[in-house]
Amino acid sequence: MLQGKKAVITGSTSGIGLAIARALAGEGAHLMLNGFGEPDEIERNRAELAREHGVTVAYNGADLSKPAEIQGLIEAAVSALGGVDILINNAGIQHTASVEEFPPERWDAIIAVNLSSAFHTIHHALPHMRAAGWGRIINTASVHGLVASAQKSAYTAAKHGIVGLTKVVALETAGSGITCNAFCPGWVRTELIEPQIAARAEQLGMSMEEGGRNLVLEKQPSGQFISVEQLAALIVFLCSDAAAQITGTAIPIDGGWTAQ
């Protein structure tokens, strides 16, 4: 479906971003990966994606808190792939604390990586999409782009900002062949939340499976985690021609969290 399209995916060396990379490569898209991690593992994933799907897969380790490196990421993608058709802003970091105890430097870092980086990637990628007359910009928001949770002031502010930025870009690109959407996951089963599940299971004397379900049910009526494959399938759909008139949306995929 996406044969020959060129995609930049931030935060794509693990978790949700890597699942999106696999799904887009499976549809024939060439990839520019970005993120942190062990160099050997990053290279292994890069080579595996290229080999299994017969697409070009490059990697750039730009620090998304630094605008100059973000510009370099987009320039590297244009050089390696020949353009940018698809931009997935997925990189994110987290810190939890009450507002009065929140370290200002952590606030600044979260806003920079979770919100400002999306502005900078879009700013540099859009001219290439306009030149091609086609583009897909998809921003990873969160249920916290739609509702709030205590102890997450910076994350919630950034994700609400992502939803607003998505709407503005959608309006500015309407009718150009470019769409801009956000998706808003609830609890997703990735390696990042395994410690929370383990702590809950130990606290309540439960198995890991029971601990996970107990954790999820606090917010997510389905009682089930969202899988990274389900998220990736949504991204593929939003990149398709069938989604050409879906723009400016913030799509929850949250097991009913925001329906309450």
Q: What pLDDT, on a 0 to 100 scale, did the predictor assign at position 190?
A: 82
Active site residues: 155
Overall fold of domain 6-188+226-259:
Rossmann fold (3.40.50)
Q: What pLDDT, on a 0 to 100 scale, did the predictor assign at position 162?
A: 98
Q: What pLDDT, on a 0 to 100 scale, did the predictor assign at position 12?
A: 97
Query: Quick check: 245 and 209 in contact, CB under 8 A?
Result: no
Strand arrangement, sheet containing 86-89: 57-60, 30-34, 6-9, 86-89, 135-140, 178-185, 250-253
For the entire predicted model, the pTM comes to 0.94
Q: What pLDDT, on a 0 to 100 scale, did the predictor assign at position 196?
A: 81
User: Can you name the residues that pair with 152 across neighbouring β-strands?
Assistant: 97
Q: What pLDDT, on a 0 to 100 scale, did the predictor assign at position 174?
A: 98
Q: What pLDDT, on a 0 to 100 scale, did the predictor assign at position 192?
A: 73
Q: What pLDDT, on a 0 to 100 scale, did the predictor assign at position 191?
A: 77
Q: Could you list the pLDDT tens digit for every one of the 260 residues in the chain? A: 899 999 999 999 999 999 999 999 999 999 999 999 999 999 999 999 999 999 999 999 999 999 999 999 999 999 999 999 999 999 999 999 999 999 999 999 999 999 999 999 999 999 999 999 999 999 999 999 999 999 999 999 999 999 999 999 999 999 999 999 999 999 998 877 887 888 889 999 999 989 888 889 989 999 999 999 999 999 999 999 999 999 999 999 999 999 99
Query: Quick check: 217 and 176 in contact, CB under 8 A?
Result: no
User: Within the chain, which residue ranges are assigned CATH 3.40.50.720?
Assistant: 6-188+226-259
Contacts of 72 (CB under 8 A, 6+ apart): 60, 62
Query: Quick check: 255 and 190 in contact, CB under 8 A?
Result: no
